[in-house]
Amino acid sequence: MKQKFSIEGMNCAHCVMRIENAVNELPGIQKVNIHLKRNNGVIKFDETKVNSQQIAEKINETGYDAKAV
Protein backbone atom coordinates (compact mmCIF):
# COMPACT_ATOMS: atom_id res chain seq x y z
CA MET A 1 0.00 0.00 0.00
CA LYS A 2 1.09 3.58 -0.68
CA GLN A 3 0.04 6.38 1.67
CA LYS A 4 0.69 10.12 1.55
CA PHE A 5 1.40 11.94 4.81
CA SER A 6 1.29 15.64 5.62
CA ILE A 7 4.36 16.46 7.75
CA GLU A 8 4.76 19.79 9.55
CA GLY A 9 7.88 21.05 11.31
CA MET A 10 10.59 20.07 8.82
CA ASN A 11 13.10 22.77 7.92
CA CYS A 12 16.24 21.05 6.59
CA ALA A 13 17.66 17.92 5.00
CA HIS A 14 18.54 16.59 8.46
CA CYS A 15 14.83 16.61 9.34
CA VAL A 16 14.11 14.52 6.25
CA MET A 17 16.86 12.06 7.18
CA ARG A 18 15.57 11.73 10.76
CA ILE A 19 12.08 10.92 9.54
CA GLU A 20 13.28 8.47 6.90
CA ASN A 21 15.50 6.64 9.38
CA ALA A 22 12.74 6.46 12.00
CA VAL A 23 10.10 5.17 9.58
CA ASN A 24 12.50 2.58 8.14
CA GLU A 25 12.78 1.06 11.64
CA LEU A 26 9.15 -0.07 11.41
CA PRO A 27 8.36 -3.57 10.07
CA GLY A 28 6.95 -3.79 6.57
CA ILE A 29 8.29 -0.46 5.25
CA GLN A 30 9.21 -0.79 1.58
CA LYS A 31 9.96 2.76 0.40
CA VAL A 32 10.06 6.20 2.03
CA ASN A 33 10.05 9.45 0.05
CA ILE A 34 9.94 12.58 2.20
CA HIS A 35 9.65 15.96 0.43
CA LEU A 36 10.96 18.91 2.43
CA LYS A 37 9.57 21.72 0.24
CA ARG A 38 6.12 20.13 -0.04
CA ASN A 39 5.88 19.26 3.68
CA ASN A 40 4.79 15.75 2.88
CA GLY A 41 5.93 12.24 2.20
CA VAL A 42 4.80 9.12 0.39
CA ILE A 43 5.45 5.83 2.11
CA LYS A 44 5.00 2.39 0.60
CA PHE A 45 4.44 -0.39 3.11
CA ASP A 46 3.06 -3.88 3.70
CA GLU A 47 -0.28 -3.25 5.41
CA THR A 48 -0.21 -6.72 6.99
CA LYS A 49 2.78 -5.59 9.11
CA VAL A 50 2.18 -1.88 9.78
CA ASN A 51 -0.60 0.65 9.26
CA SER A 52 -0.85 4.37 8.48
CA GLN A 53 -1.59 5.26 12.10
CA GLN A 54 1.57 3.53 13.33
CA ILE A 55 3.66 5.33 10.71
CA ALA A 56 2.19 8.72 11.65
CA GLU A 57 2.83 7.98 15.34
CA LYS A 58 6.47 7.11 14.60
CA ILE A 59 6.95 10.40 12.74
CA ASN A 60 5.25 12.28 15.60
CA GLU A 61 7.58 10.58 18.12
CA THR A 62 10.49 11.92 16.07
CA GLY A 63 9.29 15.48 16.74
CA TYR A 64 7.18 16.33 13.71
CA ASP A 65 3.44 16.62 13.19
CA ALA A 66 2.28 13.97 10.72
CA LYS A 67 -1.07 12.70 9.55
CA ALA A 68 -2.22 10.49 6.70
CA VAL A 69 -3.98 12.38 3.91
Q: CB of 5 within 8 A of CB of 60?
A: no
Q: Please, what is the end-to-end C-alpha distance for the chain in angstroms? A: 14
Q: What is the pLDDT of residues 30-66, one digit of tens each?
A: 999 999 999 999 999 999 999 999 999 999 999 999 9
* Structural fold of domain 2-68: Alpha-Beta Plaits (3.30.70)
What is residue 51's predicted lDDT score, i.e. its pLDDT? Answer: 98
Fill in the amino acid letter for 49: K
Domain extent listing, the chain: 2-68
Confidence band (pLDDT; 50, 70, 90) for 10? very high
Helix, coil or strand: residue 53: helix
Task: Give CA–CA dist 39/53, Å, rounded.
Answer: 18
